[in-house]
Structure 1
Amino acid sequence: MEVFAVPGLPEVEAGDDLASLVDERVRLRSDDVVVVASTVVSKAEGRRASLDDFAAGDRAEAIAARLERVTGESKDPRFAQAVIEESADLLMEAPFLLTRTRFGHTTVNAGIDRSNVPDADLLLLPEDPSASAEALHRDLGVPVVVTDTSGRPFRHGQRGVALGWAGMPASRDWRGERDRDGRELDVTVQSVVDELAAASNLVAGEGAGGTPVTVVRDWAFGDHAGSDELYRDLDGDFVQQALREWQYQDS
């Protein structure tokens, strides 16, 4: 498998044809997968925002005041309001805002970015990353994965994760297949879109030197069943259920 960055992409602006920008810079093969950072998808879709777009309500004021008390850092209640409006649910309000987006992703601050956003305060996640991936897939003719970076429980650091995908299943479903000893697998579902996102993030990088689009070449899904169940439903998400019952105790 080879992963390489698409070179020479300009700063993406609202209304830009992202598929054309990619197609002009790389000759894609039919078996390629294009992996796109959600930041450039959001920029093309006009998801830049100003803090002044979010008039802080009582809940946002209370959250910002509590976070300031807990962390000792100044917190803008307008940012808290933006997080509230971009979230389907707030799982934690302290010591940080842990949220579930409308499309099912659990992340800090609703995935709102405050870096690499020229001429704006905030960059919001795409409203529907799988729909964004579907549009790019239709125009480019190859599978597309839209990604972000986020941390995970029990580990330091961040890694690439998939937010949306099109043209391929999210997961390889190994259930019913056999291991090397002939035992039938009954629980193994491999999230390939997350694994491709993480591999691509190694090449794309972070910060000022980051490149927002990569191509995965010579990788094949293989002869496996596919699954698109990436985000857990609440009924089967015991961690999320526990968080709903947990309260952070201010010192």
Structure 2
Amino acid sequence: MELTPVTDLPEIRPGDDLADLIADRAGDTLADGDVVTVASTVVSKAEGRTADLADYPVSGRAQEIADSLGDLAGEEKDPRFAQAVLEESTELLIEVPFLLTETRFGHICVNAGIDRSNVPGHDLLLLPERPSESAARIREGLTERGYEDVAVIVTDTCGRPFRHGQRGVAIGWDGMPASRDWRGEQDRDGRELGVTVQSVVDELASAANLVTGEGADGVPAAVVNGWEFGDLAGSEELFRSVEDDLIRQALRGWEWGDSA
């Protein structure tokens, strides 16, 4: 497998055709059957998902959240940002010491994934509304340009429980299953695997993040050559349902300051 960043992409503006820009810059790197990863930041910019703090009239709930976070941090927090997070979320799992939320498409992350960096002319950059549909549009555009059987993954970076640092994850995908199912296969000792389901879209997103980078030096897309799904069952499931998510269930009954 080989991963190559797609360099020299311009600052993305609303209405830009990402498929056209990626195909033009990728050149001979992109071929039939490849996987293209695209950062959610440029997808959001192309879809006009920018916003300003002034767009969010503050509710009493947002003011309460901002006050609690401000008291804990020892500095004033903008309730308009809290309002933006509320409007982009379906559930707040944690309110202090930070906002851990479920987005409207099922992704759980801090601050509903709202970005405040690299947003020229605006205060906020929101995640795409429906990232898998965004991936499907980019994939359709690449297909129209002659690339067959290309898969597209929309990526973001977020932290992980129990570990320091961030890594790339998939928030939307099209043209491939989200995971491959090893259940029923055997290990080297002949034991049957009973629970192993491999989140391949997350693994490819994380691998791509190693070559695309972060911050001012980052590039928003990469091409993955030579990766094959293999002869295994696939699944479109990525985000756990509430019924299957023991951590989320536990967080619903947890409050900041609870003792062990």
TM-score bucket (shorter structure): over 0.9
Aligned pair partner of 1:36 in 29, 35, 38? 38
The percentage of aligned residue pairs carrying the same residue is 66
In structure 2, the partner of 1:9 is 9
Deviation at 1:118, TM superposition (A): 0.3
* 2:196 matches 1:208: no
Deviation at 1:117, TM superposition (A): 0.4
Gaps in structure 2 of 5+ consecutive residues? 144-149
Instruction: Tell me whether 198-207 or 66-75 shows the greater mean CA deviation.
Output: 66-75
Deviation at 1:50, TM superposition (A): 0.3
Aligned pair partner of 2:135 in 133, 136, 146? 133
In structure 1, the partner of 2:109 is 107
Map Cα deviations across residues 32-84 of structure 1 (whole Å, 9 max, x no partner).
10000000000000001000011110000000001000111321000000000
In structure 2, the partner of 1:98 is 100
* 2:228 matches 1:220: yes
Instruction: Tell me whether 55-64 or 23-32 shows the greater mean CA deviation.
Output: 23-32
In structure 2, the partner of 1:143 is 151
In structure 2, the partner of 1:22 is 22
Query: How is 1:5-84 mapped onto 2 (pairs within 5 angstroms)?
Result: 5-27=5-27, 28-84=30-86
In structure 1, the partner of 2:147 is none
Cα distance in structure 1, aligned partners of 2:74 and 2:181: 46
Deviation at 1:139, TM superposition (A): 1.3
Instruction: Tell me whether 54-63 or 175-184 shows the greater mean CA deviation.
Output: 175-184
Deviation at 1:177, TM superposition (A): 1.1
In structure 2, the partner of 1:168 is 176
Letter in 2 for 1:94: V
Instruction: Tell me whether 106-115 or 72-81 shows the greater mean CA deviation.
Output: 72-81
Map Cα deviations across residues 146-203 of structure 1 (whole Å, 9 max, x no partner).
0000001000000000000000000011111111111111110000000000000000
Secondary structure, counterpart of 1:75 in structure 2: coil
Aligned residues: 250
Structure 1 segments (4+ residues) deviating >4 Å: none
In structure 1, the partner of 2:237 is 229
Map Cα deviations across residues 108-139 of structure 1 (whole Å, 9 max, x no partner).
00000000000000000000000001111111
Cα distance in structure 2, aligned partners of 1:126 and 1:43: 9
Gaps in structure 1 of 5+ consecutive residues? none
Task: Using structure 2 for the length normalisation, give the TM-score.
Answer: 0.95
Cα distance in structure 2, aligned partners of 1:71 and 1:148: 26
Instruction: Tell me whether 211-220 or 18-27 shows the greater mean CA deviation.
Output: 18-27
Compute the RMSD of aligned alpha carbons: 0.9
Cα distance in structure 2, aligned partners of 1:121 and 1:227: 37
In structure 1, the partner of 2:191 is 183
Task: Using structure 1 for the length normalisation, give the TM-score.
Answer: 0.98
